[in-house]
Amino acid sequence: MERDMIDDPAIGLLIYQTDSIAGFYVYTGTVWSALLLRENGWGVSGNSGTDPATNFIGTMDSVPLRFRVNDVWAGQLGGDEENTYLGLNTGVSNSSGNFNTGFGTNALNANTTGYQNTAVGREALKGNISGYENTAVGEKALFTN
């Protein structure tokens, strides 16, 4: 293997190996450790042979899974507050509200402490800050609640 031919590698040395086990490797001081092997990561062109019991995109703790588009907040799943948001700037202001569900651009955008709200549609419940137990369906439904 190419990496084993390096005499006295420095700790932290990063290499890209091109032989049959191609990939990035870092020297830990005792062994070469693989960083990015295709079989250990998700491909941007899709994946095959996955098993949903062991292969998934998500977290292994109560930290929410967050999404961004062009580095703009685009959603969140779960977390301690058990909120679910999907859409640009949907639920972006939430600080302590819980059990909220928002789908659509800017839905529940201003909500900070409101709880048990459901907003479906672009800008549904957009102005809601602390209201609770509201259901809004449709573009701009309950916009200034």
Residue ranges, the chain, pLDDT below 70:
1, 36-44
- Domain co-membership, 73 together with 125: yes
Q: Is residue 73 part of a domain?
A: yes
Q: Is 79 found in the same domain as 15?
A: no
- Identify whether residues 26 and 96 lie together within a single domain: no
> Helix (H, G, I), strand (E, B), or coil: what is residue 55?
coil
71 and 129 housed in the same domain: yes
* Identity of the amino acid at 47: N
**Residue 14 in contact with residue 7, Cβ under 8 Å?**
no
Give 56's DSSP letter: -
Q: Are residues 71 and 120 in the same domain?
A: yes
pLDDT of residue 128: 96
Provide the pLDDT for residue 89. 97
The DSSP element (H or E) to which 78 belongs, if any, is: strand 72-78
* pTM, two decimal places: 0.68
The backbone torsions φ and ψ at residue 144, rounded to the nearest 5 degrees and listed phi first, read: -105, 25
Residues of the chain with pLDDT > 90, as a percent, come to 62
Find all residues with CB under 8 Å of 43, minimum gap 6, and list them: none
Tell me if 54 is assigned to some domain. no
pLDDT tens column, 4-20 = 888 999 999 999 888 77
In whole angstroms, give the CA distance from residue 82 to residue 90.
15
Residues 130 and 81 in one domain: yes
The answer to the question of residue 33 being in a domain is yes
Looking from the CA of 54 toward its CB, the CA atoms found within 13 Å total: 6
Domain extent for 84: 63-145
Count how many domains the chain has.
Answer: 2
Q: Decide if 22 is inside a domain.
A: yes
Name the residue with tokens 């573009």.
139
User: Is there a domain that residue 48 lies in?
Assistant: no
Are 129 and 90 in a shared domain? Answer: yes
- 35 and 85 fall within a common domain: no
